[in-house]
């Protein structure tokens, strides 16, 4: 296996607020390889957006603060760089698209100018050359009449078309990684499918890696190669997409799955919500963040944070849960390491 | 765009007509008339004068005569200044007020946008705190105080240099204009600074600024390509009324600096119930204000594409 192009290690992000310090991200590790799609899933406020924004240097400091960690892009740490340094990779090596395309583009600038701006700054093209390339990019994202559309302003576009334009903009400098922060949340379902298909197509032609942030498990199933499940500022489980869906090894992943509606008629079962609410990140619990909501919680879970256990060595599935310990009780619904494996 | 401008122009004409009518009615409600004088006037003379100026006719009749003349662009002769056409008064003195006002609004807009942007960039740091303190002063201290202080400053400067560099008062050259324009624009500058500051802070939290950052643009480029243009929109909106307020409301400053502007005649006319001058200056100022608002609306269309289309 070739080395990861981006490795995030032990990332900690805090925010100073009037109420105290919020520990939004509390030790996140993940890595991503050439051409793969990593989905980061989790509920609102679990720190998934903050993690990637910290990598991109988009966290305003203060009130934000990156207290620990590293993000190695091809072996070089890019975390917490000053903007002059960060701008060598932002928009060039790593590009990003956002949740709401309606507000993510400058309303007083034409689409064409916004795309060509990136090319002029990073590639030193003239305005004319950059605009020509911008039209090509719009064409590549299947925007009809690209030349005419390039001269229009964001308010003349529909939501789906704007997200295409955002994608075109992010592709300008052929980035190796595209970070998509809930790219389809603000769009309706048919448009959602089109945007996801477009991302997949471009990933193939450009050989890009995609970090996809979402809370929609259906999107994960459609797009991801690997999945990282986040809860209360930590990644609780990572693994191949099939492992996560069919061999869940963390109770939270299981809870998410049980709360997801399925369209298989014969399985007329009720959806089971996860009871309770996430822990207060002003004073996070000393043990496992999921302890108070976990149906299988044990005494150790309250006081000691669980280690990252490798559940499956070949597919590199990991779960940070005490239930993966050799002495833990067996739970049928959960994929656990066998007793002999753990020793 | 053309249709839009024509529509605005038509609405403007209606507004001016309304201003003229309202002023006419209000003016005639005030007790007394222009012929009232400190000295007692013999009833016969008074009657003759009333006949001469048409004041013996009914108010309605006077209204139609006035409106008819106004359409021809004739505001009549001043009651109190001998043999002076109202049009002449406007023609002689408005350019002075306008020149002063435009320079003042130039200072105000430039300073307001610059300082507003600066305070937003240095939010809650020393430059912001100092400028915002000065802004409070600029808004709350009346202009005649600044006018007097400005003159004092000039006097001190001139005596320090040992020669007269900037004249303390009067009219004639560009150097005469600098201090009164600064003083006149100060209030607006303070207002625009506040507006620009809050507008900048609003824009800085917009998603598209984050996008611009993620594109790898330098902070300077984000500032002038993405932030400034969007932040300036609300400032442009108030610029129209501000231009009118400054050019028409400058009479206090004009008085202190002994500038022969139109403002003085306007105030004098109201005091003396000089019907023709009141009507002439009010309608003229009204039309000027309306024109400025329309002009700003059209400029707005150039800056914000969303306004242009609809």
Chain A interface mutation, best of B211, B221, B235, highest count of A Cβ atoms under 10 Å:
B211
* DSSP characters over B12-80: HHHHHHHHHHHHHHHHHHSSS-TT--SS---HHHHHHHHHHHTTTS-HHHHHHHHHHHHHTT---B-SS
What value does the mean pLDDT take over residues A308-328?
79
Given the cut 0.95, state whether the ipTM is greater than it.
Answer: no
Question: For strand A64-73 and strand A6-17, is the pairing parallel, antiparallel, or unpaired?
Answer: antiparallel
Task: Classify burial at B211, counting beta carbons within 10 Å of its beta carbon; exposed 0-12, middle 13-18, buried 19 or more.
Answer: buried
Sign, Cα dihedral of A43, A49, A55, A59: negative
d(CA A12, CA B259) in angstroms, rounded, equals 66
Q: Per the CB < 8 Å rule, is B217 touching A95?
A: no
pLDDT tens digits, residue range B288-299?
A: 888 888 888 778
% of chain B surpassing 90 pLDDT: 15
Q: What is the pLDDT of residues B167-182, one digit of tens each?
A: 877 788 888 888 889 9
Task: Identify the domain containing residue B141 by its residue range.
Answer: 86-272
User: Can you tell me the mean pLDDT for A306-322?
Assistant: 80
Q: For position A268, what pLDDT does the model report?
A: 64
A113 at B interface, C-beta within 8 A = no
User: For residues B304 and B229, what is the distance between their CA atoms, to the nearest angstrom?
Assistant: 9
Place of tokens 């980061």: A40
Does position B56 have pLDDT exceeding 90, yes or no?
no
What is the pLDDT averaged over residues B97-113?
90
In-domain check, residue B135: yes
Q: Coil, helix or strand for A210?
A: strand
Please state, in angstroms and rounded to a whole number, the distance separating the CA atoms of residues A197 and A216.
16
Mutate to test the interface with B, among A16, A99, A107 (most CBs of B within 10 A): A107
User: Average pLDDT of chain B?
Assistant: 85
pLDDT for the residue B199: 92
Structural domain contains residue B206: yes
Residue A28 has φ and ψ, to the nearest 5°, of -105, 130
How far apart, in whole angstroms, are the C-alpha atoms of residue A289 and residue A292?
8
Strand, coil or helix: what is A142? Answer: coil
**Which pLDDT does position A337 carry in this prediction?**
66
Residue B92's pLDDT band (cuts 50, 70, 90)? confident
What's CA A244's distance to the chain center, in Å? 15
Q: What is the pLDDT of residue B264?
A: 81
pLDDT (0 to 100) of residue A210: 92
pLDDT confidence tier of residue A340, bands split at 50, 70 and 90:
very low
Is the pLDDT score of B240 beyond 90? no
- Is residue B200 a part of any domain in this protein? yes
Q: What is the pLDDT of residues A113-135, one digit of tens each?
A: 999 999 898 888 888 988 998 99
Residue B43 covered by a domain: no
pLDDT one-digit tens code per residue, B37-50 = 666 677 887 788 77
Alpha carbon of residue A51 to chain centroid = 8
pLDDT at B196: 93
Cis-peptide into A122, omega within 30 deg: no
Q: Is the pLDDT of residue B193 over 90?
A: yes
The pLDDT score that the predictor gives to residue B247 is 78
Residue of A88, A94, A108, A170 to mutate, interface with B, max B Cβ within 10 Å: A108
pLDDT at B18: 92
List, in order, residues 6 or more apart from A68 with CB less than 8 Å away. Answer: A10, A11, A12, A27
pLDDT band of residue B136 (cuts 50, 70, 90) is very high
Among A23-37, A223-237, A322-336, B166-180, the range scoring the smallest mean pLDDT is A322-336
Q: Average of pLDDT values for A41-64?
A: 87
Counting Cβ atoms within 10 Å, is residue B173 exposed (0-12), middle (13-18) or buried (19+)? exposed
Whether B279 is in a domain gets the answer: no
Task: Give the pLDDT band (50/70/90) at residue A342.
Answer: very low
Among the partner-chain residues A86, A103, A122, the one whose CB lies closest to the CB of B206 is A103
Residue A231 has pLDDT above 70, yes or no: yes
| B293 falls within a domain | no
- Contact present, A108 and A50 (Cβ < 8 Å): no
Asked if pLDDT for residue B236 goes beyond 50, the answer is yes
Give the whole-number percent of chain A exceeding pLDDT 90.
10
**pLDDT for B303 beyond 90:** no
Residues of A in contact with B304 (CB under 8 A): 107-108
Taking CA B230 as the corner, what is the angle to CA B224 and CA B236, rounded to the nearest 5 degrees? 105
Classify strands A226-231 and A177-181 as parallel, antiparallel or unpaired.
Answer: unpaired
Q: Domain count of chain B?
A: 1
Is the pLDDT at A140 greater than 80? The verdict is yes
Over residues B19-30, the mean pLDDT reads: 88
Q: Name the residue of chain B whose CA is nearest to A104's CA.
A: B208
**d(C-alpha A335, C-alpha A324), whole Å:** 9
CATH code for position B138: 1.10.3720.10
When the pLDDT of each residue in chain A is averaged and rounded to a whole number, the result is: 85
What DSSP assignment string belongs to A5-62? SEEEEEEEEEEEETTEEEEEEEEEEEEE-TT-EEEEE--TTSSHHHHHHHHHT-S-TT
Report CA A4 to chain centroid distance, whole Å.
Answer: 16
Closest CA to A343 of A319, A317, A325, A328: A325
The pLDDT tens digits of the residues spanning B268-290 come to: 888 888 888 888 888 888 888 88
Q: Does A153 touch chain B (CB under 8 A)?
A: yes
Give yes or no for residue B114 having a pLDDT over 70.
Answer: yes
Spatial separation of the C-alpha atoms in residues A267 and A271, rounded to whole Å: 11
Please give the C-alpha separations between residue A258 and each of A223, A254, A275, A301, B29, in angstroms, as whole numbers.
Answer: 20, 6, 12, 22, 80
Confidence of residue B132 (pLDDT cuts 50, 70, 90): very high
Question: Is residue B196 domain-resident?
Answer: yes
The pairing of beta strand A37-41 with beta strand A209-214: parallel
Size of interface A-B (CB pairs under 8 A): 81
A169 vs B contacts (CB less than 8 Å) = 211, 215
Q: Is residue B299 part of a domain?
A: no
pTM of the full structure:
0.76
Laid out side by side, the sheet with A37-41 consists of: A94-97, A177-181, A209-214, A37-41, A226-231, A234-240, A317-320, A308-312
Report pLDDT for A61: 79
A260 shares contact with chain B (CB less than 8 Å)? no
Task: Work out the pLDDT band at B309, boundaries 50, 70, 90.
Answer: low
Distance from CA of B296 to the nearest CA of A (A): 17
Place A264 in a pLDDT band, splitting at 50, 70 and 90: low
> Which of A254-268, A286-300, B126-140 has the least mean pLDDT?
A254-268
């Amino acid at each position: 296996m070739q080395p990861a192009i981006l490795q995030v290690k032990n990332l900690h992000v805090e925010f100073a607020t009037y109420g105290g310090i919020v520990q939004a991200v509390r030790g996140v590790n993940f890595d991503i390889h050439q051409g793969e799609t990593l989905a980061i899933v989790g509920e609102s406020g679990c720190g998934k957006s903050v993690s990637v924004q910290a990598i991109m240097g988009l966290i305003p400091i203060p009130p934000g603060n990156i207290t620990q960690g590293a993000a190695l892009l091809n072996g070089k740490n890019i975390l917490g760089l000053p903007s002059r340094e960060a701008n060598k990779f932002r928009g060039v090596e790593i590009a990003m698209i956002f949740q709401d395309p309606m507000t993510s583009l400058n309303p007083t600038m034409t689409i064409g100018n916004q795309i060509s701006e990136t090319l002029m700054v990073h590639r030193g093209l003239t305005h004319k050359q950059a605009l020509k390339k911008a039209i090509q990019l719009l064409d590549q994202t299947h925007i009809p009449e690209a030349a005419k559309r390039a001269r229009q302003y964001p308010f003349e576009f529909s939501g789906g078309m704007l997200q295409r334009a955002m994608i075109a903009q992010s592709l300008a400098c052929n980035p190796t990684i595209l970070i998509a922060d809930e790219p389809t949340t603000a769009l309706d379902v048919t448009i959602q499918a089109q945007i996801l298909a477009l991302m997949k197509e471009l990933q193939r032609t450009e050989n890009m890696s995609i970090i996809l942030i979402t809370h929609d498990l259906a999107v994960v199933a459609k797009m991801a190669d690997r999945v990282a499940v986040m809860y209360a500022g930590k990644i609780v489980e990572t693994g191949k997409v099939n492992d996560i869906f069919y061999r869940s090894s963390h109770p939270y992943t299981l809870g998410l799955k049980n709360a997801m509606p399925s369209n298989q008629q014969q399985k007329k079962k009720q959806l089971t919500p996860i009871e309770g609410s996430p822990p207060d990140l002003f004073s996070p619990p000393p043990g496992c963040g999921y302890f108070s909501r976990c149906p299988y919680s044990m005494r150790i879970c309250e006081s000691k944070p669980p280690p990252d256990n490798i559940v499956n060595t070949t597919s590199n599935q990991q779960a940070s849960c005490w239930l993966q310990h050799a002495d833990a009780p067996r739970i049928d619904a959960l994929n656990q390491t066998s007793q002999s494996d753990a020793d | 765009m053309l249709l839009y401008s024509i529509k605005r122009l038509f609405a403007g004409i209606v507004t001016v007509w309304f201003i003229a009518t309202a002023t006419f009615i209000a003016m005639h409600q005030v007790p007394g008339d222009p012929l009232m004088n400190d000295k007692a006037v013999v009833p016969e003379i008074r009657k003759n004068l009333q006949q001469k100026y048409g004041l013996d006719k009914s108010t309605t009749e006077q209204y139609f005569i006035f409106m008819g003349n106004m359409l021809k662009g004739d505001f009549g002769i001043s009651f109190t200044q001998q043999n002076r056409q109202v049009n002449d008064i406007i023609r002689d003195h408005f350019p002075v007020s306008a020149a002063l006002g435009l320079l003042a609004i130039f200072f105000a807009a430039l300073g307001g946008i610059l300082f507003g942007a600066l305070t937003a960039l240095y939010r809650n740091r020393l430059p912001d705190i100092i400028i915002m303190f000065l802004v409070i002063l600029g808004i709350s201290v009346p202009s005649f105080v600044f006018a007097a202080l400005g003159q004092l400053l000039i006097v001190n400067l001139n005596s320090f240099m040992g020669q007269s560099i900037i004249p303390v008062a009067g009219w004639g050259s560009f150097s005469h204009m600098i201090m009164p324009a600064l003083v006149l624009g100060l209030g607006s500058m303070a207002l625009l600074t506040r507006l620009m500051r809050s507008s900048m802070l609003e824009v800085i939290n917009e998603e598209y600024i984050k996008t611009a950052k993620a594109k790898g643009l330098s902070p300077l480029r984000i500032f002038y390509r993405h932030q400034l243009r969007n932040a300036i929109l609300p400032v442009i909106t108030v610029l129209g009324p501000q231009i009118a307020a400054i050019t028409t409301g400058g009479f206090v400053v004009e008085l202190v600096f002994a500038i022969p502007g139109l403002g003085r005649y306007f105030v004098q006319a109201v005091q003396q119930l000089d019907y023709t001058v009141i009507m002439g200056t009010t309608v003229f100022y009204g039309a000027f204000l309306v024109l400025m608002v329309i002009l700003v609306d059209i400029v707005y269309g150039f800056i914000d594409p969303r306004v242009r289309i609809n």
